[in-house]
Chains A and B, each alone.
Chain A
Amino acid sequence: MQHDDVIWDLIGNDSFCSYKVKTKTQQFCRNEYNITGLCNRSSCPLANSQYATVREEKGLCYLYMKVIERAAFPARMWEKVKLDRNYAKALEQIDENLIYWPRFIRHKCKQRLTKITQYLIRIRKLTLKRQRKLVLLSRKVERREKRREEKALIAAQLENAIEKELLDRLKQGTYGDIYNFPIHAFDKAMEKQEEETESEEEEDEEEPVTREFVADDGFEESDLSDFEDMNNLKGSSDEEEEAEEESSEEEESEEELEEEKTKAQSKGKAPLKGPIRKKRAYVEMEYEQETEPAQKSKAT
Chain B
Amino acid sequence: MDSNEATTSESVSKKRGKTKKVKRKVKPDEAPVQEMDQAEGEETEKKSVSGPCFPPTFSVSEIKNKQRRHAMFLKLKEEKRKQKLELKKKKKKERKALGDQAPPKEVPKTIENQRIYDETTVNPEDEEVAFDEGTDEFSAYFSRLTNPKVLITTSDRPRGRTVRFCEQLATVIPHAHVYYRRGLALKRVIPQCVSRGFTYVMVINEDRKVPNGLVLCHLPDGPTAHFKVSNVRLRKEMKRRGKDPTEHVPEVILNNFSTRLGHSIGRLFAALFPHDPQFVGRQVATFHNQRDFIFFRFHRYIFKNEKKVGIQELGPRFTLKLRSLQKGTFDSKFGEYEWVHKRHEMDSSRRKFHL
Contact = CB atoms under 8 A, between A and B. Distances in A.
Interface residues of A, number: 30
Contacts of A189: none
A67 interface: no
A130 interface: yes
Given A129-B185, A155-B110, A167 B309 contact: yes
B285 to A, nearest CB: 10
A179 B321 contact: no
B305 interface: yes
A184 B279 CA distance: 21
Nearest to B313: A159
Contacts of B116: none
A159 B313 CA distance: 10
Interface in A171-210: 171, 175-176, 178-179, 181-184
Contact of A161 (B186, B255, B321): B255
Contact of B185 (A130, A148, A158): A130
Interface string B40-80: 00000000000000000000000000000000000000000
B303 A149 contact: no
A256 interface: no
At the interface, is chain A mostly helix, strand, loop or mixed?
helix
A179 B286 contact: no
Nearest to A176: B279
Contacts of B301: 162, 166
Nearest to B156: A132
B337 interface: no
Contacts, number: 81
Interface in A100-114: none
A213 B112 CA distance: 80
A229 interface: no
A280 to B, nearest CB: 34
A181 B306 CA distance: 6
Contacts of B142: none
A165 interface: yes
Q: How large is the interface on B (under 10, 10 to 19, 20 to 34, 35 or more residues)?
A: 20 to 34
Contacts of A165: 253, 255, 286
Nearest to A166: B309
Contacts of B295: 152-153, 156, 158
Interface string B252-275: 010100000000000000000000
B21 interface: no
Contacts of A146: 230
B311 A159 contact: yes
B111 interface: yes
B321 A156 contact: no
A155 B286 contact: no
Interface string B283-313: 0101010111101010101010111010100
Contacts of B305: 181, 183
Contacts of A159: 311
A151 B110 CA distance: 12
Residue from A130, A159, A176 having most chain B Cβ neighbours under 10 A: A130
B306 A170 contact: yes
Interface in A119-140: 129-130
Given A163-B311, A170-B303, A184-B306, A152 B343 contact: no
Contacts of B288: 156, 158, 161-162
Contacts of B307: 167, 184
A230 interface: no
A141 interface: yes
Nearest to B321: A145
A20 B128 CA distance: 74
Nearest to A167: B309
Contacts of A182: 306
Contacts of B185: 129-130
B329 interface: no
Given A159-B311, A162-B311, A163-B311, A152 B306 contact: no
A59 B293 CA distance: 48
Residue from A162, A178, A179 having most chain B Cβ neighbours under 10 A: A162
B153 interface: no
B293 A148 contact: yes
B314 to A, nearest CB: 13
A179 B290 contact: no
Given A155-B111, A162-B297, A165-B253, A179 B291 contact: no
A129 B183 CA distance: 10
Nearest to B255: A161
Nearest to B301: A166
A149 B320 CA distance: 10
A161 B279 CA distance: 19
Contact of B284 (A148, A166, A179): A166
Contacts of B291: 148, 151-152, 155
A128 to B, nearest CB: 10
B111 A181 contact: no
Contact of A153 (B111, B228, B290, B299): B290
A239 to B, nearest CB: 50
Given A146-B230, A149-B319, A178-B279, 18 more contacts: A148-B291, A149-B293, A152-B291, A153-B290, A153-B295, A155-B290, A158-B286, A158-B297, A159-B311, A161-B286, A162-B299, A167-B309, A171-B306, A176-B279, A178-B280, A181-B303, A181-B305, A183-B306
3 closest A-B pairs (Cβ-Cβ)? Answer: A156-B290, A181-B306, A152-B291
7 contacts: A152-B293, A152-B295, A161-B255, A162-B299, A162-B311, A181-B306, A184-B307
